[in-house]
């Protein structure tokens, strides 16, 4: 289920805390939300230092966040960023500022670094059109644009790819 994502996206007037002239709905600090998978184990665990609902578009703004995404076939992926915005329908999480995606793969740990990234919550796809740096094991690649299918552990750099492969 998408309970945690829906909880963030839904209006919750009973916990709405706003002052006159303020355009935010609920506001949480040091929040952890967990979405369980069909097997009863945590599928997505989101932690943020601050969570704030924006009444103007019902989106949710997050600060200093991390997301653990557990997959059946390609292990656990961790996404961290300075900021995030979850759209009102809870299908996309836009990450910005020091975005790091880390996951284990056959050749070792894979690390993706960029400034902006979109995480599609239902499909497990992360993508960006921005410059990216990728490290896996001793290898390094840089490029512009990236698409990663986290569930399959499949990654594609889009253009301007340069790299160094060490034995």
pLDDT tens readout for residues 42-65? 888 999 999 999 888 889 999 999
Give, for 65, the enclosing helix (H) or strand (E): strand 60-71
pTM, to two decimals: 0.77
- Average pLDDT estimate for 70-89: 87
pLDDT at residue number 21: 45
For residue range 124-155, list pLDDT tens digits in order: 898 999 999 988 878 888 999 999 887 777 77
Provide the pLDDT confidence category of residue 16 given band limits of 50, 70 and 90: very low
Computed over every residue of the chain, the mean pLDDT equals: 81
Beta bridge partners of 154: 149
Q: Which letter, b or e, does each residue of 16-45 get, where b requires 16 or more Cβ atoms within 10 Å of its Cβ?
A: eeeeeeeebbbbbeebebebeeeeeeebbb
């Amino acid at each position: 289920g998408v309970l945690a994502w829906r909880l963030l996206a839904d209006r919750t007037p009973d916990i709405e805390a706003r002052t006159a002239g303020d355009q935010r709905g609920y506001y949480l600090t040091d929040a952890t939300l967990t979405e369980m998978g069909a097997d009863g184990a945590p599928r997505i665990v989101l932690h943020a230092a601050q969570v704030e609902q924006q009444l103007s578009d019902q989106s949710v703004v997050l600060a200093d966040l991390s997301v653990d995404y557990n997959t059946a076939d390609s292990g656990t992926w961790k996404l961290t960023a300075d900021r995030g915005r979850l759209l009102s329908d809870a299908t996309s999480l836009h990450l910005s500022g020091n975005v790091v995606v880390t996951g284990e793969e056959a050749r070792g740990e894979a690390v993706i670094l960029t400034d902006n990234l979109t995480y599609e919550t239902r499909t497990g796809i992360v993508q960006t059109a921005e410059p990216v740096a990728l490290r896996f094991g001793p290898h390094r690649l840089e490029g512009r644009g990236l698409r990663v299918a986290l569930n399959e552990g499949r990654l594609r750099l889009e253009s301007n790819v340069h790299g160094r492969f060490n034995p």
